Amino acid sequence: MIVCENLVKIYKVADLEVVALQGLDMTVEAGELMGIIGNSGSGKSTLLNMLGGLDRPSAGKLFVDGQDLFRMTNAQLVAYKLATVGFVWQNNARNLIPYLTALQNVEMPMLLAGKRDRKWALELLDMVGLGHRKHNQLHQLSGGEQQRVAIAIALANRPKLLLADEPTGSVDTRTAAIILDIFQELNRSLGLTVVIVTHDVQLARQVDRVVSIRDGKTSSEILRREAAAEQSDEGDVHEELAVLDRAGRMQIPREYLQAIGLEESDNKLRIELEDGRIVLLPPR
Ligand SMILES: Nc1ncnc2c1ncn2[C@@H]1O[C@H](COP(=O)(O)OP(=O)(O)OP(=O)(O)O)[C@@H](O)[C@H]1O
């Protein structure tokens, strides 16, 4: 569904250049429910904006659903934003119109795309558990309920990919759990590919895969495997893998380097092959 290769994004501010993505590689399969984590400023929102067609990459390759985001004309990009991707932000005011009802809000993107589908709008409100509030104006709903309407809005035009930037960032733990359940259900029942940027460790644990971004590159990923029946008392198994790019480069966590006695100023390592293992050692 998503292929990023050596993706670069440079922002120019006055005479300064900020490299927000520095050759990021990432592949997401259709139907995956995955999370992206990373420190503030690591490039998570920048990546999501590229995927959502809100901003254009500076270099590299970016394909979503077989479409080349680099080659799109502005008109194609507008069509892409309406039809291929849905977006949910932390601050849901960006998605919602306060004086319209929940139902009218969900129908708004349909009207913009020129095809209203009331049956689908009602189904979506049911899916997010707000069928009974469809005629309420937005300001009559709680923050968590508004966030659920925002999810229904994002799916109004039946996108294949749902992008969510800190979707549980401004709601309490209980509401966050409801929102995660909704993502899981939409992923299962519609086969929707879902990419969630989050700081929420709890949420990150419950997706199929979590990719972590450091300094504008993917550094490692954690896979969740359903535990085999005989070991079911252990719960799900998490496996953390470092990401290797095409040139064979990887990022080594700073705490690992410290653990083998490497100084902050050291910028070289010994690397040896020993009994089928790669061993990293501080310089002699
Ligand atoms: N429009 C912009 N103009 C200039 N620099 C930008 C712009 N957007 C992002 N940046 C810079 O790019 C880098 C990555 O920012 P980004 O917002 O993608 O990080 P993030 O991981 O989403 O952070 P946070 O978790 O704080 O939202 C930062 O150094 C940021 O200052």
Q: Quote the pLDDT of residue 196.
A: 94
Quote the pLDDT of residue 222. 81
Q: Would you say 80 and 88 are in contact if contact means Cβ atoms under 8 Å apart?
A: no
ipTM associated with this complex? 0.95
pLDDT tens digits, 182-203 = 999 999 999 999 999 988 777 7
Report d(CA 30, CA 86) in Å as an integer.
Answer: 15
Any atom of ligand 1 within 6 Å of the Cβ of 38:
yes
Identify residue 270 by its one-letter amino acid code. R
259 lines ligand 1 (CB under 6 A): no
Check if the beta carbon of residue 86 is closer than 8 Å to that of residue 126.
Answer: no
Which of ligand 1's atoms lies nearest the C-alpha of 49?
18
pLDDT given for residue 85 in this prediction = 94
What residue ranges do the domains of the chain occupy?
A: 2-253, 254-284
CA of 65 to the centre of ligand 1 (A): 25
Q: Give me the pLDDT at residue 240, please.
A: 78
Q: Which CATH class is domain 2-253?
A: alpha beta
Q: How many helices (H) and strands (E) does the chain have?
A: 8, 13
The residues of the chain scoring below 70 in pLDDT are: 92-94, 225-237
Distance 18 CA to ligand 1 centre (A): 9
pTM of the entire structure? 0.86
Choose one of 12, 39, 42 to mutate for the ligand 1 pocket test, by most ligand atoms within 8 angstroms of C-beta.
42
Rounded Cα distance between 34 and 26, Å, is 12
Task: Quote the pLDDT of residue 206.
Answer: 82
CA-CA distance, 239 to 154, in Å (whole number)?
32
Q: What type of residue sits at position 96?
A: L
Q: What is the pLDDT of residues 22-54, one digit of tens each?
A: 999 999 999 999 999 988 889 999 999 999 999
